[in-house]
Amino acid sequence: MKQFEEAGTIIRKLKEAGYEAYFVGGSVRDYMLGRPIGDIDIATSALPEEVMQLFPKHIPVGLQHGTVIVLYNDMPYEVTTYRTESGYEDFRRPNEVTFVRSLQEDLQRRDFTMNAIAMTEDGTIVDPFHGKQALDNKIIKTVGEPSERFQEDALRMMRGVRFVSALGFTLEQETKQAILQHAPLLLHISIERIAVEFEKLLLGAYPERALSILVETHLHLYLPGFEKKEAELLQATSYAWKYIQNDIAAWTLLLHLAGLDAGILKNWKLSNKKLKAVTKALAFLQQRFIKNWSAEMLYEAGKETVALVETIYAVLHRHEPVIKGVIATYNGLPIHNRQQLQVSGRDLLEWTDQPGGPWTAQLLNEIEHAVLQGDVSNVREHIKEWVKCKLQ
Ligand code: ATP
Ligand code: MG
């Protein structure tokens, strides 16, 4: 695995300096599953200052949590000092961490056994909590007592369900029971952190399974807007989520199915940009239910929203999405934005010899629509003729 080879250099350098260092977390898990790996995390006995001294090219991103990003061949690697998390308050991750010198202690604070496997740079596995066995059995299980671990940090419950969606694994019975028991603790977790996990859940390979577990474990009661939407969430599990490729599409489909307005995304503290995009997609989805795409609809929606809405429309009708045709029609529109119009307000003033006023904007609008409809071609002289006829 090329990515590990590159990062192996960082581990070797730490070891040469007398420290321990291992690959840990999601990349080890995904590597063992034969899945594409994401960010590579390294755990080390070296303290953050020691890491920064060894690697001049670094970004001190989370020193209080022991994390330094080391840049190697322009790639970022998170190097985190072995730590435990003591003094959990309010069922949230602790504001205080204690650096420790043993790998075992560091692995012990991790959420699930499959995420608590360490690997040396030559591929040897260190697995005190039997994460490999969990991977083989496709089981998600907390390191230690699930009740305790969820009381320490309630976000882990959402993480567990989002891993169901990512991997298609099963929550171990005791872990699932503990989620049902402790679901209300989610109230202590910031909505921003919940939203990160929830969006990952919607975009996983098995969101159907995860959505039904959310209802089963009552976690849905703590998701803004979905408190009384168990029927809708369960209904949502029957659709082909595999065609949903990004967060905007996921929210659009989910809100549509739940009969919710995009305004609810304010409660999720999502960005205004996202809120706007979902609002727009929901509106065009409504229009699409009433009629097929017109030139005006395509133009106003824009390519991205057209593709997204058409995909969701097909998913809702349980068809395989085929968006090629509608995209070809979109591409064939005479113009795609106002700037492409071959005339400007100044032309209108010149041609008509009238003082400017609201009429220019209105006439430009009419020209824009006429061009879109194919009533006049987007050629200056043709538009000039068309305007003259119109004003006669
Ligand atoms: P992904 O592939 O989606 O990034 P990941 O397992 O790498 O999954 P991260 O959120 O990147 O997840 O976290 C990296 C590692 O840190 C996890 O594998 C886990 O060992 C540990 N971890 C993250 N969040 C928690 C938490 N809330 N409680 C305990 N350990 C955690
Ligand atoms: Mg990760």
Domain ranges of the chain: 1-137, 139-238, 243-333, 338-391
Among the bound ligands, the one closest to the CA of 33? 1
How many A from CA of 115 to the centre of ligand 1? 7
Judge if 139-238 and 243-333 fold alike in CATH terms.
no
Query: Which pLDDT belongs to residue 101?
Result: 83
CATH number of 139-238: 1.10.110.30
Residues of the chain with pLDDT under 50: none
Q: What is the ipTM of this complex?
A: 0.99
152 lines ligand 1 (CB under 6 A): no
Q: How many CB atoms neighbour CB 144 within 10 A? A: 15
Q: Which residue is closest in CA terms to ligand 1's atom 24?
A: 111
Token pair, residue 96, equals: 């205080």
- Nearest CA residue ID for atom 5, ligand 1: 26
Check the annotation: does 29 bind a ligand. Answer: yes
Pair of tokens at residue 269: 């503290």
Residue 165 identity (one-letter amino acid): S
Can you give the pLDDT at residue 63?
86
- Taking the CA of residue 93 as reference, the ligand 1 atom at the shortest distance is 27
Residue 26 Cβ inside 6 Å of ligand 1? The answer reads yes
Residue range 338-391 forms a domain whose CATH class is mainly alpha
Ligand 1 site-directed mutation target among 115, 157, 201, most atoms within 8 Å of CB: 115
Dist CA 204 CA 208 (whole Å): 9
Instruction: Give 243-333's CATH code, choosing from 3.40.1410.10, 3.90.245.10, 1.10.3720.10, 1.20.58.560.
Output: 1.20.58.560
Residue 26 Cα, ligand 2 centroid: separation in angstroms?
5
Topology (CATH) of 1-137: Beta Polymerase; domain 2 (3.30.460)
Cα 98 to averaged position of ligand 2 atoms, centre (Å) = 21
To the nearest 10 degrees (0 to 180), the angle between helices 155-167 and 173-182 is 140
Phi, psi for 47 (deg, rounded to 5):
-75, 155
pLDDT tens-digit readout, 308-332: 999 999 999 999 999 999 999 999 9
Q: Are 106 and 84 in contact (CB under 8 A)?
A: yes
Point out which residues pair with 257 in neighbouring strands: none
| pLDDT tens-digit readout, 147-195 | 999 999 999 999 999 999 999 999 999 999 999 999 999 999 999 999 9
Question: What is the per-residue pLDDT for 102?
Answer: 94
- Ligand 1 near 217 CB (within 6 A): no
The reply to whether 288 sits in an annotated binding site is: no
In the prediction, which pLDDT does 392 show?
81
Which pTM does this prediction carry? 0.94
Cβ contacts of 287-295, under 8 Å, gap ≥ 24: 288/313, 289/313, 293/326, 293/329, 293/330, 295/333, 295/372, 295/373, 295/374
> Contact at 8 Å (CB) between 72 and 6?
yes
CA distance linking residue 250 with residue 277, whole number of Å: 12
Alpha carbons 282 and 262: distance in angstroms, whole number: 8
Amino acid at 16: E
Q: Which structure tokens are listed for 144?
A: 């230690």
* DSSP assignment letter at 84: E
117 lines ligand 1 (CB under 6 A): no
